[in-house]
Structure formats: C-alpha cells, structure tokens
Amino acid sequence: MKILVPVKRVIDYNVKPRVKLDGTGVDLANVKMSMNPFDEIAVEEAIRLKEKGVATEIVAVSIGVAKAQETLRTALAMGADRAILVQTDDEVEPLAVAKILKAIVDEEQPGLVILGKQAIDDDSNQTGQMLAALTGRPQGTFANKLEVEGDAATVTREVDGGLETVKLALPAIITTDLRLNEPRYASLPNIMKAKSKPLANKTPADYGVDTAARLQTLKVSEPPKRSAGVKVADVDELVAKLKSMGVAA
C-alpha cells in the first residue's frame, strides 16, 4: 500500500510570531521555518506503518515556495521514499490545497492519505475534511490511535467528550492529533541519503488548479496584553472580588 503524506512549511513552533507594522499579516523575514508539528506526526505514523509491513511506499508532498524543498527533505530524512513539491509563491488557501491534493491522489492512488489535523500558522483545520469530500473517501479526523488491518483502518479519535473509535474502509483520509505518536529525529546518515532521494517539481497549473485568493485578510493584530493580577488577603476577599466581577453568585 502507498501512503501519501502532505506536509507544510510553517514558522517554527518555538518562535514567537511578530505582526507586521501595517497589520497586513505575520512578519516572516529572518524567521526560522520548519515542518508543521502535526505533519511531523503524520510522517512518523506513515513510517511506522511501513515498518510494520502495512505500507510499501511513502510519498511526501508540499505546496508552497521553493524553500519548501527543505521541509520535504526533512520528511525524506525521517523515512519517506520520494517527494513532490507543488511550487507556488501564492498563499494557497485550504480549498486550493485540497484540490491539488485531490489531483495528486487521483494520480498516485494511495491507500491512505495521512496529514496533520491543522497547520499551526492559520489553524484552519479544513484541508483533510475537504480532501475527503472531494475524493469521496471515508475520513478519520483527530486520530489518537491508528490500526490498519486488511482493507480497513480503525481510528480512535479525540472528541470533546473523550474518545471515539471508527472503522474506515480503505482507501481513506486520516488527520493526526498530537497524542498519536512521538516523531523521531532524522539521523545524520539519513539526512545525507535524503539528498539523493527523488523530489519532483510541479506547479498548480500542472493539476489544473487556480490558487487565486478567495479570502481577504482585513487585519492581523497582536493578542491584547493581560492586565496585572492582584493579591488577596483571604478567601472572603477573593469571593467579594469575584462577585464584583460577576464571576461568582
């Protein structure tokens, strides 16, 4: 079985984003970029399935600027077999991403598509669901546990009330949650090997997808600063303050 793993290049999760002075977006100048953490989990899960003998090939795909090659090389160093970069300088919205991935799915015919449930830059949490709708494949989102046996996948999902287990007929779409696994670090020998693994360059036009923006960002602003707290002498004073704020009855 072939597994397709989409990965996205985002601001490193350890970096505190800065908003541009004109409020038009996030300042990306001289900022460390890395693979979206949820996508790292997706790559790791695909590798584990291959190590179990469930999968035979892992194809990583990224949609973005030329520097997204670095993100794909990271996926290759972790254990992916080959990669596809759909290169564009446009800020590609979730629906356009899903349409491009749908075209790649039609071409590659993977048994599973495993991707992060969301990207930490826009937090849209839409691409996996849109891809499932476009392809007509069953979906298991927010995967906490994944088991593949025969022509079915069993997914334990994280939901508000706890955990839910669903069984999907393959081929299917899976989106990963944080507790699915702990991604491995790429070893130096694997990083060197990744440089020689095949990486195909494509464009959205190759898949007949228009990436023109359908959404308009009106304003981006820093979160409001928290006001300083106050100390209270005892429980009675705490309750009185909570009552004055309308928090306690």
**Cα 227 to Cα 14, 58, 92, 230, 239, distances in angstroms:** 24, 49, 37, 10, 20
Res 214: pLDDT: 87
CA distance 178 to 44: 12
How far is it, in rounded angstroms, from Cα 230 to Cα 223?
21
* Helix/strand number for the chain, H first, E second: 6, 13
**Could you give the CA distance from residue 29 to residue 45 in angstroms, rounded to a whole number?**
32
For 35, how many CA atoms within 13 A lie in the half-sphere containing its CB? 29
Is residue 248's pLDDT more than 60?
no
Q: What percent of the chain has pLDDT over 90?
A: 70
* pLDDT (0 to 100) of residue 25: 80
Pairing of strands 33-35, 139-149: unpaired
Token look-up 């007949």 returns 208
Q: For the chain, what is the mean pLDDT? A: 92
Residues 208-238: pLDDT tens digits? 999 988 888 888 888 888 888 888 889 988 8
How confident is the model over 104-134, as pLDDT tens digits? 999 999 999 999 999 998 889 999 999 999 9
Q: Name the nearest CA neighbour of 155 among 164, 146, 56, 163.
A: 146
Average pLDDT over residues 84-103: 94
Helix axes of 94-108 and 127-135: crossing angle, nearest 10 degrees: 50
Which band of pLDDT confidence, cut at 50, 70 and 90, is reported for residue 241? Answer: confident
Q: Model-level pTM?
A: 0.85
137-192 pLDDT per residue, tens = 999 999 999 999 999 999 999 888 889 999 999 999 999 999 999 999 988 999 99
State how far the alpha carbon of 61 is from the alpha carbons of 147, 157, 159, in Å: 23, 24, 28
Q: Which of 16-25, 132-141, 194-203 has the lowest mean pLDDT?
A: 16-25
Q: What is the pLDDT of residue 102?
A: 97
pLDDT at 75 over 90: yes
Residue 249 pLDDT level (bands cut at 50, 70, 90): low
According to the model, what pLDDT value does residue 161 have? 84
* Domains parsed from the chain with CATH numbers: 2-223 (3.40.50.620)
CA 171 to chain centre: 20
HEC profile of 168-214: EECCEEEEECHHHCCCCCCCHHHHHHHCCCCEEEECHHHHCCCCCCC
Say if CB 86 and CB 101 are below 8 A apart.
no
Q: Using an 8 Å Cβ cutoff, are 29 and 66 in contact?
A: no
What band does 71 get if pLDDT is binned at 50, 70 and 90? very high
Comparing CA positions, the residue from 104, 165, 163, 119 lying closest to residue 140 is: 165
Q: Which two tokens stand for residue 145?
A: 């546990």
Give the model confidence (pLDDT) of 181-197 as tens digits: 999 998 899 999 999 99
